[in-house]
Chain A
Amino acid sequence: MSESGKDPLFSGKNMKLLSTPLNDENPITVQVLGICSALAVTAMLEPAVVLAIAVVAVMGAANVIISLLRNTIPNRIRIIVQLVVIASLVILVDQILQAFLYDVSRQLSVFVGLIITNCIIMGRLEAFALSNKPWPSFLDGIGNAAGYGWILIVVGFFRELLGSGTLWGYPVMETLGVYNFGYEDNGFMILPPMALITVGVIIWVQRSRNRKLIESK
């Protein structure tokens, strides 16, 4: 990657960094990273979107910072350095959320703090930012966070729509008038186990369309 500095900013290689994590190397469904927070906040669409944006911000910034520092960090203490950088960024995000989006911040509760131990961030810092220049690292961070974010948003969308019949608090099902035909909300979708099953189904759909991801026995 040493010559990537000569590439134009949006060269094919750089764009690839941004796009492969969305499908072929999706952090959640393929690399199995960052599941923890992905499932707990997805009962409603709004906190899912907020968390996705928070992770994009933290990850883009953390990747750039670590990438700028990569030649000065001693190898032995790199984990601590990474944790400190991530933790400081997460404190920033947490304070911003508490100041401007207090309700959502209450709903997310400990899961904002848990961005620190989100394995996607650690994993990408270790695997990419430590050995690459800031701009590709930034794209890689944004790409992976977006790959994480879209799964979060899809899960949140279905769980809120089927579970409470609303989207972003707006009563979609009532507006469509389906209740008159005997439709009822499936309260089960809001409960924690359904998040796992929804992700399982997403993996199923994704792998049956993208067959090279299928695991051997």
Chain B
Amino acid sequence: MEELTNIFVRSVFIDNMVFAYFLGMCSYLAVSRTVSTANGLGIAVVFVLGFTVPLNYLIENYFLAEGALVWLGPRFADVDLSFLSFILFIAVIASMVQLVEMIVEKFVPNLYSSLGIFLPLIAVNCAILGGSLFMQEREYANIGQASVFGIGSGVGFYLAIVGIAAIREKIRYSNVPPPLRGLGITFIVTGLMGIAFMSFMGIAL
């Protein structure tokens, strides 16, 4: 349990997707004009990351990694398919996004209509693929840890995008130098937020 809490805190604050690795920056910058849309996108990302990371964990450990196919029989023991991981991960993500979209549409129509176009767009959000690739690189011990990492990264993204949206709503009333307006000041504010998040560095439970 302690290990899981530790992974969660690490993925939300220290290894924050946006501030430490700059993943999902495109949608982070494009969809952060108002808090309400940022909120919707954030929830969708938590959703999809929470599903795809454990799913890709299973694929990685039962299909792709060296020796993972041993359950098919001893002669598959030294098959290494890890070069296929990009293409399989992205296929899983694209189909999961489609599936999540259909489930949400059927059972939570309110959430569906508030997410709108952002749900399908998540398929090409680098934070999602990044989550799976980091999961592969860090070699989590079991599927529980992988899911906690997925959800934690999603929550980190959620915090970041809602935070910047709130700041951008306020900054509209400030007198920003014209060439910095819009994109430029958003970059700089994100940088400052990143510095603030760096103060979490070194925290371990």
Contacts and interface: CB of A to CB of B under 8 A. Distances in A.
Contacts of B22: 35-40, 192, 195-196
A216 B176 CA distance: 11
Contacts of B143: none
A80 B23 CA distance: 21
Contacts of B137: 109-110
A207 B181 CA distance: 10
Nearest to A215: B182
A206 B26 CA distance: 20
A25 to B, nearest CB: 14
A193 B180 contact: no
A173 interface: no
Contacts of A94: 83, 86
Most buried by B among A33, A34, A197: A197
B25 A39 contact: yes
A113 B86 contact: yes
A52 interface: no
Contacts of B70: none
A119 interface: yes
Given A94-B86, A95-B83, A119-B26, A36 B126 contact: yes
Given A110-B133, A113-B133, A217-B172, A192 B194 contact: yes
Interface in A1-54: 29, 32-40
B117 interface: no
Given A110-B137, A200-B180, A36 B187 contact: no
A114 B134 CA distance: 11
B116 interface: no
A194 B19 CA distance: 10
B21 interface: yes
A122 B195 CA distance: 31
A84 interface: yes
Contacts of B103: none
B202 to A, nearest CB: 14
B58 interface: no
Interface string A182-198: 00000000011111110
B29 interface: yes
A217 B198 CA distance: 31
B129 A113 contact: yes
Most buried by A among B94, B185, B188: B188
B73 interface: no
Interface in B91-137: 91, 94, 123-130, 133-134, 137
A18 to B, nearest CB: 23
B184 interface: yes
Contact of A196 (B90, B130, B181, B191): B191
A154 interface: no
B160 to A, nearest CB: 12
A216 B182 CA distance: 8
A90 B83 CA distance: 10
B94 A80 contact: yes
A197 B133 contact: no
B86 A87 contact: yes
B179 A204 contact: yes
Interface in A111-137: 113-114, 116-119, 122
A88 B91 CA distance: 12
Given A39-B22, A114-B23, A122-B124, A200 B185 contact: yes
Contacts of A39: 22, 25
B24 interface: yes
A177 to B, nearest CB: 31
Report the 4 A-B pairs with minimum CB-CB distance, sorted nearest first: A193-B194, A200-B187, A196-B191, A215-B182
6 contacts: A36-B22, A36-B126, A39-B25, A91-B86, A91-B87, A200-B186
Interface of B: 19-26, 29-30, 83-87, 90-91, 94, 123-130, 133-134, 137, 172, 177-188, 190-195, 198
